Amino acid sequence: MKRSFLPLLSLFVFSADWAAAAEAPPSRPNILWLVCEDSSVNWFGCYGNPEAKTPHIDALAKQGFRYTHVYACAPVCAPSRSTWITGINALSMGTQAMRSRYMIPHGILKYYPDYLRAAGYYAANRPKTDYNIGGRPDSECWDSNTQAAWTKRQPGQPFFQVLNFNDSHESKAHGEVTNTRHSPSEVTLAKYHPDETPIRMNYAKYHDAVEAMDGEVGKALAALEQAGLAEDTIVIFNSDHGGVLPRSKRFLFDSGIHVPLIVRIPEKFKHLWPDAQPGGTVDRLVSFLDLPKTWLSIAGAEVPGAMQGHVFFGPKAEPEPEFAFSFRERMDERFDSQRSVRNKRFVYIKNYMPYVAWGQHLDYLWKMVATQTWEDAHKKHRTTAVTGEFFNTKPLEELYDMELDPDNVVNLAGMPEHKKMLETMRAALRSWQLEIHDTGLLPEGERERRAAALKTTVYEMVRDPKQYDLASYLEAADVALAGQPAKKNRLLGLVKSPDSGLRYWGTVGLCLLGKLDATSLDMMEGSLHDECSEVRVMAAWTLAKAGRALKAQEMLLSVLDKHLPATLLALNVLDWAQLELAPYLGTLDTLSKKTQMPNPYEQRMLEYLLESRGLKNSANSGSRKNEDF
């Protein structure tokens, strides 16, 4: 018996082509993948939020299978979509830095639509790509940028259609927060947010945005049914990562990584069902890495061996993994480096830059009233130990119970009763980093320079242990981050290494030790001439902390004046170290006016440094664009 997937509703016509005549059902399923932006599970009614107004997505959950443990690989769009298009973790390719467009070996790594098209599918994507990969236009892998793939295909040809919805993007939480449809008094704040009226109003504004996105999802589903294709089409709905209020997007907490995933499979393809009947939940642990591999599997396309995920439903479903892994690296103008491991209950986070705060000022994030209000509350002592923690530097390790503590505010890492879980997840992370060739143990600029010198890509370079000794870098990082004076001689040995990666971690470790003897500081002065500019910058910070400010100043001015690849890092260090800016003002002004302008991230750091110190901004402050960089 044929089931109608949708109640009768008013149909928004994206174009006249949406209502194309139905055809004979294909032998393989069509696939409609609906992707919204920036929304964790917390913003949807079907995932338990009583204030959410998401009737179309809630209805889809009742018609399909709602997955409860799905995690993005990165808490921001470009690295997340880089992972999707290849089926390979961006951290494994060197494409993890936000909007970086670094190269991968396209002759070796194809995109998943390439395999769908080779298998006979008509593949369309509209409108967002944002794959964060250089060397190939994002649109090249698709047959078209249409919103109704079924109108362009050959008769009987199965289609794969991606529709991206921008209505829930972070930008929709910017601006005025008055006159919202949702009531600010009725929203439920996360435990880490202070209960301030503007923050409540921003919650309500974003609830409105998610409601608008839900309406667009409803229109797309109605159009599919109007075309007579609902019974032949698998529908998938999910977000591209979590978000969007501060401490969600860009962060490895549940609010930034835990995402919705709903899959509706027509009865004619019930052999693909992950459960006996639609309408319930599926508790399998799913990573975003699993999605492209699964789409290829159910489409009967080739699944390349380079893909790293697991097929999570269908007759070729693979065993459920024990853990899901995620990462954070540079996002926009701010550096950070984190890795996380999750099972269905606990999340472990390792901080490779514990010396920087979670809540570093980031231009795009600070466009939100909620972020501005939160910062003001903290500066004026209206926050508590919980609501003010965001503005502190991080511990080396974090462990949270996601069932008892869904807001991730109680760090269990130092508690004896959780020692075994901590050790298990720590070991799982190390094993995974080695397995996928974690590219992030070199600074961003250094890994690109090294690959360029070798005339190869980062992807290929890190798979050669002679060129990228990951095991040694992981060990060196652990020594550096331990912050133990007893390890000083070991760190000094790293600083003398011929390998720039080991020298970098040795310098980081000495910087974290704080008080150093004259011999160690003399060695740091030698590091001011290191061929790796990131080593120079970290050595300068170490010397500045130790009172050798003039030497540090000379090096930082040199990096900025020459506009070296570590320029953005140097600008960040000026902020992290709270160095006096007066000696740098002329160089900063010159940098902002160079013929080859700083990139948007350098520009933002220039502006913030001046604005945050109450100095006149001479760095073209009116030139910023309201774009999600």
pLDDT digits (tens, 9 = 90+) for 521-532: 999 999 999 999
Closest by Cα among 84, 111, 54, 81 to 262: 54
Residue 6 has pLDDT above 90, yes or no: no
The residue behind tokens 């075994």 is 420
Number of domains comprising the chain: 2
CA 490 vs. chain centroid, Å, equals: 34
* CA dist., res. 463 & res. 485, Å (int): 34
Residue 10 has pLDDT above 70, yes or no: no
Instruction: Look at residues 550, 583, 599 and tell me which one is the last residue of a structural domain.
Output: 550
CA 555 vs. chain centroid, Å, equals: 32
pLDDT of residue 22: 43
98 and 243, same domain (yes or no)? yes
Question: What is the arithmetic mean of pLDDT over 553-581?
Answer: 96
Structural domain including 151 reads 30-342
**Proportion of the chain above pLDDT 90, given as a percent:** 92
Q: Could you tell me the pTM of the whole model?
A: 0.94
139 and 278, same domain (yes or no)? yes
Q: DSSP string spanning 525-548?
A: HHHTT-SSHHHHHHHHHHHHHTT-
Tell me which DSSP letter residue 74 carries: S
Residue 621 has pLDDT above 80, yes or no: no
Say which CATH number the domain at 68 has.
3.40.720.10
- Hey, how many other C-beta atoms are within 10 angstroms of the C-beta on 407? 18
**Proportion of the chain above pLDDT 70, given as a percent:** 93
CB neighbour class for 416 (10 Å; exposed up to 12, middle 13-18, buried from 19)? exposed
452 and 324, same domain (yes or no)? no
336 and 449, same domain (yes or no)? no
Would you call 398 helix, strand, or coil by DSSP? Answer: strand
Say which CATH number the domain at 534 has.
1.25.10.10
Confidence of residue 293 (pLDDT cuts 50, 70, 90): very high
In a domain, 248, yes or no: yes
58 and 202, same domain (yes or no)? yes
pLDDT tens, residue by residue, 65-85: 999 999 999 999 999 999 999
pLDDT of residue 598: 73
How far, CA to CA in Å, does 421 sit from each of 396, 402, 433, 606? 16, 13, 18, 43
108 and 214, same domain (yes or no)? yes
What is the token pair recorded at 607? 């502006």
Instruction: Look at residues 312, 327, 342 and tell me which one is the last residue of a structural domain.
Output: 342
Which residues, other chains included, contact 466 with Cβ-Cβ below 8 Å and sequence gap of 6+? Answer: none
In a domain, 616, yes or no: no
In a domain, 45, yes or no: yes
* CA dist., res. 626 & res. 330, Å (int): 19
Q: In terms of pLDDT, which residue wins out, 405 or 2?
A: 405
Torsion of CA 527, 530, 536, 539, to 10 degrees: -20
336 and 443, same domain (yes or no)? no
51 and 164, same domain (yes or no)? yes
In a domain, 419, yes or no: no
Is there a contact between 516 and 510 (Cβ–Cβ < 8 Å)? Answer: yes
Q: Which residues of 146-170 are buried (b: 16+ CB within 10 A; e: fewer)?
A: bbbbbbbbeeebbbbbbbbbbbbbb
Whether the bond into 244 is cis, omega within 30 of 0: yes
Confidence of residue 617 (pLDDT cuts 50, 70, 90): low
In a domain, 617, yes or no: no
In a domain, 610, yes or no: no
Closest by Cα among 520, 526, 596, 537 to 572: 537
In a domain, 24, yes or no: no
In a domain, 359, yes or no: no
Residue 624 has pLDDT above 50, yes or no: no
Which residues, other chains included, contact 520 with Cβ-Cβ below 8 Å and sequence gap of 6+? Answer: 488, 492, 510
* CA dist., res. 242 & res. 248, Å (int): 6
| Average pLDDT of the residues of the chain | 94
Instruction: Look at residues 550, 567, 585 and tell me which one is the last residue of a structural domain.
Output: 550
